[in-house]
Amino acid sequence: MDLWHFVSSRAGEILFASAQHFSLVVQSLIVATTLSILIAALVYTGPTRTSIANAVSAVGLTIPSFALIGMLIAPLGFGVAPAVVVIVFFGSLPILRNAIVGLRGVERSVIESARGIGMSQMDTFFRIELPLAWPIILAGIRVSAQMVMGIAAVAAFVLGPGLGGFIFQGLSRLGGAGSLESIITGTVGVVILAAILDLILVGVGRLTTSKGIRV
């Protein structure tokens, strides 16, 4: 009953924070996807460049998000900016790895056939290679979305928007009235948003993937 009372009495605040959280993650994910595909397009044809990109993505995932957010306070201050940078950084890592795998997995014979009928390198990439690699890239986007949904909550440490505020408020007065309810609200809210975003991405995958290569 205490949790229900907490949620009902702050329904407007919770919905607003949820909308901020979801918007922050989605917009950052779009930027991360764009950057990752661009980088993958530049490196996937060279084994050395591919190895470097994969190594960077692997090492990047070992960096604690809380520590990175703390380091960004000095150059970027508090608020949305450090939150976006951290989410884009961590969000791009799984997508980049999958984009490289997907692009390198496209059959060379298909690419050569496209070039043979007069398609330019740019046309071949956007009309042949990227669509064929898209299911694997989308799998990386889904993994990234689940990961950064939680990282976005940590952004509350630098006064970033979203449900993380409820978690940090509860932790700051742990044992006090409503502290546990605040933590549960923020945590469950993040989980629900992650599930909603994953369902949306499943729908996006159905709409953007050719029927012939759907899994």
Q: In the chain, where are the structural domains located?
A: 7-213
- Which pLDDT belongs to residue 215? 57
Q: Note the pLDDT of residue 155.
A: 85
Mean pLDDT of 13-33: 95
pLDDT value, residue 49? 92
- The dihedral sign for the CA sequence 209, 28, 36, 146: negative
pLDDT tens readout for residues 91-102: 999 999 999 999
Does residue 34 contact residue 119 with C-beta atoms inside 8 Å? no
Provide the pLDDT confidence category of residue 214 given band limits of 50, 70 and 90.
low
pTM for the whole structure: 0.91
Confidence of residue 21 (pLDDT cuts 50, 70, 90): very high
CB within 8 Å of 83: residues ≥ 6 apart: 24, 69, 152, 155, 158, 160, 161, 162
C-beta atoms surrounding 215 within 10 Å: 7
| CATH of 7-213 given 3.40.50.1110, 1.10.3720.10, 3.80.30.20, 3.40.50.2000 | 1.10.3720.10
Is pLDDT above 70 for 166?
A: yes
